Structure 1
């Protein structure tokens, strides 16, 4: 694109309330891209079909070009990340570094998976949600609503990473397919709003622009690198940056308070001089704050414990076991969860201790959904493993029932019974558990 034309520099200088100098008119300034979804004038009819996906059509003024530009950037950055991980020890990443032909290795891994992986906890439950949140922000900061950003994160984490780059090195992971986009939704929305807060107060953290720039980089490294590349070349190589509209109250001389709109841009990167923010005050007439019924409050976690009664063919003692799940509560009547239980059992024949694991992907249908007390039915598929040995695993189907009691929009308790049947060993196992449910954000809403 070359240097910004003088007309653009004049317009931006007007926003800065600063005089335009001849030499300043040739300085590259990133253009305002778009405001966030909440700052758009959205018709209520948009939410008539709350799960409609606009990611590929951008009917509401979303910036599809920015998404495509940043997607191409992510693709190249991912190759670099994969190269870095390939240099790390195999016992850290669990990546296979054999000399097999790459395409054959990729196909073998894809055919074998997905499996329950053995990566260290901070890779599975911190690293993957972080990068899921980075994917999420590509769409969110391009003016898309939360649901579209979640769908984008799911597509990127599943097909670009798990079944794409990472499948050249290891079998796709069950946890990563769920945890990356779901917890990435939670982290990505938090990071999206935290970045906005930092920018609206002038790009500072603890009063420091250095800490502010560091925080902005780690909150969204893809966008930060894009802004840095653009400044380096003096033109828009990558569509990056977002204009934010913020509301604030301005005192007037007669004592009244006027609500105004503040437009903020962040265009500094690295060692360059940081802008304290660009602000232009205008009356807030016509500004609409969307009330999207689909937000990250749909994401919920459960934590509890239960009693595991195993089929006699296991030749192992029945035991208490901790249970955990991560799910999405699509409506008050339907949810889907990834559930996991693990405990130590005693082999009745040898007296030795063995490890039992059970994981499943389940769906729940709730009756009496508008009340606090909701009976539900649950069904799903999964696997049980003994001693983390994939040769001793068995595919299972499960079904059961439970009671869900809503304490508040964010908290609930539930009693859950599930019966598991194994097609390989013809085992019949039962798990009765009690769990505490937590919903993120605003929690349960009217949907």
Structure 2
């Protein structure tokens, strides 16, 4: 099992590195993805002053969100989630984690859309903090496998092969695309196709946790600051070039 998962991680890492280079350097009919990495050279990028502090804040929000999500799923009809609420509890968790992963019967919406999307959301947290593709893919895998499948969800069902593999693998691929598109929007002062409303809406959908931290300023409450914002305030002209509403 672990050899197979290791091969999957290596394959997605290699594919993701190629995807990242392609998105940055290929001409997409006039779309320009800046060659600069997350440095203060691009004043519109959000660059946290501490990668660890940003990731810690987003991980905390993610944890609360997952707990709220599991509560919502628990309250949904069993015909949708395929969960047996009567066996919910710690004893069921112990039984489920001892059993080998199974192939679940979830519908396409959950397996084909929702799981890859949330895998991308997991991936975006370390990526926007400034970590590499491989580190972000690993975070997505760990969050999906150990926090969700063998953590919260194991209270009500046996861990799923689809969720263990498909969620972080496809999530990392989609997540890198989300990351590049987010940086593209930031480099255009929050605009997409000339519309700031469209730009911010898409950024919020691709990275709702990061949107709350960066754009709704929750990060400041936890001491997370934008390097570029600080740099702009220190400029002789006194003009702020930071990514703002």
Identify whether the pair has TM-score above 0.5, normalized to the shorter chain. Answer: yes
Deviation by residue 1:189-228 (Cα, 9 ceiling, x = unmatched): 0000101111111212343322222111101011112346
Deviation of 1:177 (Å): 0.4
Residue 169 to residue 37, structure 1, CA distance change in 2 (3 Å): farther
Structure 2 SS opposite 1:38: coil
Q: Residue 177 of structure 1 corresponds to which residue in structure 2?
A: 164
> Residues 38 and 130 of structure 2 are in contact (CA less than 8 Å); yes or no, is this contact kept in structure 1?
no
Q: Residue 111 of structure 1 corresponds to which residue in structure 2?
A: 98
> Residues 96 and 159 of structure 2 are in contact (CA less than 8 Å); yes or no, is this contact kept in structure 1?
yes
Q: Residue 38 of structure 1 corresponds to which residue in structure 2?
A: 37
More helix, by proportion: 2
> Residues 134 and 188 of structure 1 are in contact (CA less than 8 Å); yes or no, is this contact kept in structure 2?
yes
Q: Residue 91 of structure 1 corresponds to which residue in structure 2?
A: 79
Structure 2 SS opposite 1:203: coil
How many residue pairs end up in the alignment? 192
Please, which of 64, 76, 79 is the counterpart of residue 67 of structure 2?
79
Deviation by residue 1:321-362 (Cα, 9 ceiling, x = unmatched): xxxxxxxxxxxxxxxxxxxxxxxxxxxxxxxxxxxxxxxxxx
Is the counterpart of residue 266 in structure 1 residue 229 in structure 2? Answer: no
> Residues 70 and 239 of structure 1 are in contact (CA less than 8 Å); yes or no, is this contact kept in structure 2?
no
CA root-mean-square deviation: 2.8
- Structure 2 gaps, min length 5: 1-34, 40-48, 230-239
Pair member with larger Rg: 1
Higher relative contact order (CA 8 A, sep 6+): 2
Deviation by residue 1:57-111 (Cα, 9 ceiling, x = unmatched): xxxx97122212211221111111111112221111112211x461012112212
Deviation of 1:172 (Å): 0.6
- Give the whole-Å Cα distance in 2 for the aligned partners of 1:209 and 1:202: 8
- Structure 1 gaps, min length 5: 1-35, 41-60, 245-262, 268-273, 275-447
Deviation of 1:159 (Å): 0.7
Deviation of 1:142 (Å): 1.1
> Residues 97 and 154 of structure 2 are in contact (CA less than 8 Å); yes or no, is this contact kept in structure 1?
yes
Q: Residue 114 of structure 2 corresponds to which residue in structure 1?
A: 127
Structure 1 SS opposite 2:131: coil
Residue 101 to residue 117, structure 1, CA distance change in 2 (3 Å): closer
